[in-house]
Amino acid sequence: GAVVSQHPSWVICKSGTSVKIECRSLDFQATTMFWYRQFPKQSLMLMATSNEGSKATYEQGVEKDKFLINHASLTLSTLTVTSAHPEDSSFYICSALDRRSYEQYFGPGTRLTVT
């Protein structure tokens, strides 16, 4: 299957700082990517849909000014958590939609810890 990478795989940062997470589709072009967040023992919660060349679409309750999404190329979307707080500590996972098969491929996730 297709491969999606995420970087970094884990990150620890201090409160008030910003963290950027990258999501890349390695062997296909993805005009649409998705960002999810998963807290321990909970399901994946869709945060936003990232659209290449246009603004991201955020789910209800997700602050767009706090979670900045940029999808500047057909293979890269970035999520920046701004002014991070300890409650932002979570597992962030991206997925990329392969329109050849309409299958979503997930990245390996980024574990964020805010101290």
Q: Which residues of the chain form contacts with other proteins (CB under 8 A)? A: 1, 32, 34, 36, 42-46, 49, 91, 93, 95, 97, 102-104, 106-109, 111
Closest approach, Cβ 18 to other proteins, in A, equals 24
How far, in Å, CA of 78 to CA of 97, rounded? 15
Q: Which is nearer to other proteins, 19 or 105 (CB)?
A: 105
Q: Kindly state the tokens that stand for 102.
A: 């309409």
Contacts of residue 63, defined as CB under 8 A and 6 or more positions apart, other chains included, come to none
Alpha-carbon gap, residue 48 to 28, rounded angstroms: 21
For other proteins, the closer of residues 17 and 42 by Cβ is 42
State how far the Cα of 75 lies from the Cα of 95, in Å rounded to an integer. 11
Q: How far is the CB of 103 from other proteins (least distance, A)?
A: 7
User: At closest approach, how far in Å is the CB of 83 from other proteins?
Assistant: 26
Which lies closer to other proteins via its Cβ, residue 33 or residue 84? 33
Q: At its nearest, how many Å lie between other proteins and the CB of residue 101?
A: 10
Q: Quick one: 31 or 82, whose CB is closer to other proteins?
A: 31
Residue type, 75: T
Distances (CA, A) of 52 to 23, 74, 87: 13, 6, 29
